């Protein structure tokens, strides 16, 4: 049986400074670009978590040298990409969607598999797109096989990326190495989490790649070199949100140092969300400080572009003073788990009133009680349980270790924030 973690109850208002490790989204995009660059790259303060170690492992299996620097950096040296190789995706969407285009550029057979939950995640859009661009691929979901020819023609392709922005980002990141580059057109419902594609485009341009995204739902990447990276990785703003939520939930004050004044990270949206819920939010040279209100306001939010924040916001909404509606997140049904069903089930088990809508949740606060909180091998479900546990005695989070997907030691960081031991 998976061990249950007793979520600590806050003794009072949480007051702490919480340094947060580097961004997973930036780290994994940087690893891909560095692996395909013209020379050695340095990534300082990268996130070291399961997802990023899986990405590094995948690239190493293809021949890329990734070594630890004395300052905790990663030193990435490109090499001729080759198989045979086996790629473990774990539960990392970035690995299962960003690495197949790289594997198509390698010589040899590259097999992909991952955790049992990963086999349910949608991959057809990116695999079919690669086939249309000239790749030889066996399978439509994990496990699958890429038969690399050492090059990829590229060209124009139309995909439905309404299930995940990663389908677009995965194609764009490797596109400079395609013989014709790529033109990706999206046809379907609006692409979720557009800030993640904007991050991809920004990082490509910073590496000297020509990208044209002026036409809606169309991205053009020209073939050409990728400049080596010399990069300081920003703190992961989405991973910071549970700690900021702790301040909001308890009327405390939490500061996350190093919060960037300008960023492409979707997690930056938490500032406006917490302000709408009644918190005081201040960004200074010392970082971002959130001071919680006496009572949390109910909210009506469209989270389409920042769906990853939904579990955190849902936990706070269950502690708020009125009925909240979270909209625009139907795509969360295809994440690590069906996050909408999971949130409805787990909040209801603790006494909450939650209704699923076509594209989100309606949450009516009720007196909550303790009980087991199932994480579904989903890191953001696990941290949502921890947030609730600050105010609700007896919450037992199943598989808290799943937070290691993106936060190396969440229980230790949570305990340190509360002034205790893990």
Per residue in 198-209, is it b (16+ CB within 10 Å) or e — as a string? bbbbebbeebeb
Residue 166 known to bind ligand: yes
- Secondary structure element (H or E) that encloses residue 235, with its range: none
Kindly report the number of other CB atoms within 10 A of residue 364's CB atom: 16
- Sign, CA dihedral 152-155-160-166, equals positive
Place of tokens 């400079």: 176
93 annotated to bind ligand? yes
Helices 237-250 and 310-317: crossing angle in degrees, nearest 10, is 10
15 a known binding residue? no
CA atoms in the 13 A half-sphere facing the CB of 286: 7
Sign for the CA dihedral angle at 11, 15, 19, 22 comes to: positive
| Residue 164 is labelled as binding a ligand | yes
308 part of the active site: yes
Separation of alpha carbons 310 and 100, rounded Å: 28
d(CA 141, CA 124): 7
Q: Name the one residue in this structure whose structure tokens are 């001729």.
A: 80
Handedness of CA 63, 154, 208, 205 (dihedral sign): negative
307 is in an annotated binding site: no
193 belongs to an annotated ligand binding site: yes
d(CA 351, CA 369): 6
- Other CB atoms within a 10 A radius of the CB of residue 249 amount to 26
Distance separating alpha carbons of residues 203 and 189, to the nearest angstrom: 26
Q: Is 220 annotated as a binding residue?
A: no
Distance CA 51, CA 53 (A): 6
Task: Say if residue 131 carries a ligand binding annotation.
Answer: no
Token look-up 């994990």 returns 142
Q: In what order do the strands lie in the sheet containing 280-284?
A: 15-17, 253-256, 287-291, 280-284
Q: Which of 308, 336, 346, 398 is catalytic?
A: 308
Q: Is 25 annotated as a binding residue?
A: yes
Rounded CA separation 87/111 (Å): 6
CB atoms within 10 A of CB 179: 12
* 151 annotated among ligand-binding-site residues: no
231 phi/psi in degrees, rounded to 5: -130, 135
Question: Where do runs of H (alpha helix) occur along 310-409?
Answer: 310-317, 339-349, 379-389
Binding residues: 24-25, 29, 93, 121, 164-166, 193, 308, 335, 339, 380, 405
Binding residues for 3-phosphoshikimate: 24-25, 29, 164-166, 193, 308, 335
Q: Any idea which residues carry the catalytic annotation?
A: 308
Binding residues for phosphoenolpyruvate: 24, 93, 121, 166, 339, 380, 405
């Amino acid at each position: 049986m998976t061990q249950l973690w007793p979520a600590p109850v806050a003794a009072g208002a949480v007051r702490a400074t919480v340094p947060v490790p580097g961004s997973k989204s930036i780290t994994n995009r940087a690893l891909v670009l560095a692996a395909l660059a013209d020379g050695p790259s340095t990534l300082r303060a990268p996130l070291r978590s399961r997802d990023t170690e899986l990405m590094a492992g995948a690239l190493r299996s293809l021949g890329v040298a990734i070594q630890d620097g004395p300052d905790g950096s990663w030193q990435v040296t490109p090499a001729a990409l080759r198989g045979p190789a086996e790629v473990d995706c774990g539960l990392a969407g970035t690995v299962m969607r960003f690495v197949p285009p790289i594997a198509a550029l390698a010589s040899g057979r590259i097999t992909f598999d991952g955790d049992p939950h990963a086999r349910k995640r949608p991959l057809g859009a990116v695999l079919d797109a690669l086939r249309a661009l000239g790749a030889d691929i066996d399978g439509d979901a994990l496990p699958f096989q890429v038969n690399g020819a050492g090059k990829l023609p590229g060209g124009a392709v139309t995909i439905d990326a309404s299930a995940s922005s990663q389908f677009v980002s995965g194609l764009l990141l490797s596109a400079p190495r395609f013989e014709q580059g790529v033109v990706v057109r999206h046809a379907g419902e609006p692409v979720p989490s557009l800030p993640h594609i904007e991050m991809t485009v920004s990082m490509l341009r910073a590496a000297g790649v020509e990208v044209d995204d002026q036409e809606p739902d169309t991205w053009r990447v020209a073939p050409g070199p990728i400049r080596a990276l010399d990069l300081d990785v920003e703190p992961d703003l989405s991973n910071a949100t549970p700690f900021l939520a702790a301040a909001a939930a308890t009327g405390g004050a939490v500061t996350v140092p190093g919060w960037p004044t300008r960023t492409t990270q979707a997690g930056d949206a938490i500032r406006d969300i917490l302000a709408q819920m009644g918190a005081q939010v201040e960004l200074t040279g010392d970082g971002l400080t959130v001071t919680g209100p006496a009572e949390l306001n109910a909210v009506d939010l469209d989270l389409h572009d920042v769906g990853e924040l939904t579990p955190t916001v849902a936990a706070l909404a269950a502690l708020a003073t009125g009925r909240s509606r979270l909209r625009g997140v139907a795509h969360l049904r295809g994440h690590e788990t069906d996050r909408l069903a999971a949130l409805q089930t787990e909040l209801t088990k603790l006494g909450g009133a939650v209704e699923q809508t076509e594209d989100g949740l309606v949450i009516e606060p009720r007196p909550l009680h303790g009980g087991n909180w199932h994480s579904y091998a989903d890191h953001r479900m696990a941290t949502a349980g921890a947030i609730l546990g600050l105010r609700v005695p007896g919450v037992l989070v199943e598989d808290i270790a799943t937070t290691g997907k993106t936060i190396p030691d969440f229980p230790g960081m949570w305990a340190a924030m509360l002034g205790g031991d893990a």
